[in-house]
Chain A
Amino acid sequence: MSKARQLADNGAGGQHKNLVINGGMQIHERGGTITLGTGLTTTLDRMTFFKSHGGTNTVEQSTVAPVGFSHSLKAITTVADSSVAATDRVAMIYRMEGLDAAKLEFGSSSAKTITISFYVRSSITGTHGGAVGNGSDNRAYPFTYAISSADTWERKVITVPGDTTGTWAVTNARSLQVSWGLGVGSTYSGSAGTWEAADRNSASGATTGVLTTANATWYITGIQIEAESFATPFAPKSFAEDLYDCQRYYFKFLEGNNKEVGVGWYYSSSHVSFMFRYPTTMRATPTATDSTGTNFYTIYRNGGSDGFNSVAFENGSTESYSAYNSSEVSGTAGQAGIVRATNASSKIEFDAEI
């Protein structure tokens, strides 16, 4: 098969060759500066961190970006962990859904070589590490990349042979994932350049300097994963396309005052029901989060209004979630109205991250 045919088949040069959603870091639906909690924290859309150490890290969207990009993800160590224990770690992880990873055919003799490319910039120079892994956390391919100049954008390319063994989900479950270690202890670091049956976030010998240095910074953008043995230029999607793709995993329904929920009705005199529909089919039935406070939500009906403090979610699916309030409302069964957020701090979110 000719190289031209291969490129055409793989969509090289097209925007759909990149298996990464929000690789250009333009989408940050959650917004603001996010302090990483212990365990998993999702930051910019589709970009998850795992943190388990004594220091503090924050993550935010930045407009510091290389030529050709408008945004990046910026991680800052606000409180350093001066002693990195074997099981300490902080890493950014891109977790790919099996339905998207299936085309790579990992776990079979037909496993395709992949190439990961990204732009990175850090105040910490030296050898940094990362790893490709599976959703069962028992297959890993650690890699290294060098940052030679502090606070300077550099493009890195990592080519990884497809893994012909192991379990790689081809459903909506967690499948291929790529970690970038910002400080990873020995338990989760392995030898670079070879597949192993282990859970890794970095490579042995990689610097832990971002974690051990107060105010250290690490930026990344332009992430691309493609089924090629070489890197092609980053293939940007439109903002609208990236946002739509992101909303399969997280969707902020509303935030702020005077934002509509939709039609509501009194199921009984003390029970108001209403529905939330998502803009796209979500990966799984999502977790719902509602901010709460006095009269954060209101139903306007029959020439009047009836405030309530919180939303109780009832029956969810990948398309919609029914909800109600039966704690504060008082009205006439059968009447309908419009449900609206009525406080600047009102917020409703849906999360189906992997």
Chain B
Amino acid sequence: MNEMTITNAQYTTTANTTIICKIGGIRMQVPTDLDNRHYVEIKKQVDAGTLTIADAD
């Protein structure tokens, strides 16, 4: 099972350095760092096809 419920994911910068999303209903901004547990979970869900990250505005 997923360890976190993640929704509304979108990169905050065109360099894709940070993702804004909701985790467990809370607004969070997650760096694209594989040592960050939130990003590891985001990547896992993206790789599984259950989450999509929108481009930066």
Instruction: Say yes or no: B12 contacts A352, CB within 8 Å.
Output: no
* Distance in angstroms between the alpha carbons of A286 and B18 in the assembled complex: 10
Closest-by-CB residue of A relative to B23 is A287
Contact residues, B1-51 vs A (CB, 8 A): 1-5, 12-13, 15, 17-18, 20, 24, 26-31, 33, 35-39
**Residue from B1, B12, B27 in contact with A289 in the complex, judged by beta carbons closer than 8 Å:** B27
* Distance in angstroms between the alpha carbons of A40 and B24 in the assembled complex: 10
Q: Chain A: interface residue count, which band?
A: 20 to 34
Instruction: Say yes or no: B12 contacts A286, CB within 8 Å.
Output: no
Instruction: Say yes or no: B18 contacts A39, CB within 8 Å.
Output: no
Residues of A within 8 A of B20 (CB): 312
Knowing A353-B37, A354-B37 touch, does A316 contact B24 (C-beta < 8 A)? no
Residues of A within 8 A of B24 (CB): 37-39, 41
* B42 CB to nearest chain A CB (Å): 10
Knowing A289-B28, A312-B12, A313-B18 touch, does A39 contact B35 (C-beta < 8 A)? no
Interface bits A281-312 vs B (CB < 8 Å: 1, else 0) = 00111111110100000000000000000001
Closest-by-CB residue of A relative to B1 is A52
Instruction: Say yes or no: B27 contacts A316, CB within 8 Å.
Output: no
Interface bits A202-235 vs B (CB < 8 Å: 1, else 0) = 0000000000000000000000000000000000
**Residue from B1, B13, B28, B35 in contact with A288 in the complex, judged by beta carbons closer than 8 Å:** B28
Number of B residues whose C-beta is below 8 Å from A? 24
Residues of A within 8 A of B26 (CB): 289
Say whether A173 faces chain B, with CB atoms less than 8 Å apart: yes
Residues of B within 8 A of A351 (CB): 28, 38
Residues of A within 8 A of B1 (CB): 39, 52
Instruction: Say yes or no: B3 contacts A39, CB within 8 Å.
Output: yes
Say whether A113 faces chain B, with CB atoms less than 8 Å apart: no
* Distance in angstroms between the alpha carbons of A41 and B3 in the assembled complex: 10
* B3 CB to nearest chain A CB (Å): 4
Interface bits A313-326 vs B (CB < 8 Å: 1, else 0) = 11110000100000
Say whether A58 faces chain B, with CB atoms less than 8 Å apart: no
Say whether A159 faces chain B, with CB atoms less than 8 Å apart: no
* A63 CB to nearest chain B CB (Å): 28
* Distance in angstroms between the alpha carbons of A195 and B25 in the assembled complex: 38
Residues of B within 8 A of A283 (CB): 35
Closest-by-CB residue of B relative to A312 is B12
* A10 CB to nearest chain B CB (Å): 29
Say whether A62 faces chain B, with CB atoms less than 8 Å apart: no
Chain B residues close to A by CB (< 8 Å): 1-5, 12-13, 15, 17-18, 20, 24, 26-31, 33, 35-39
Chain A residues close to B by CB (< 8 Å): 37-41, 50, 52, 172-173, 283-290, 292, 312-316, 321, 351-354
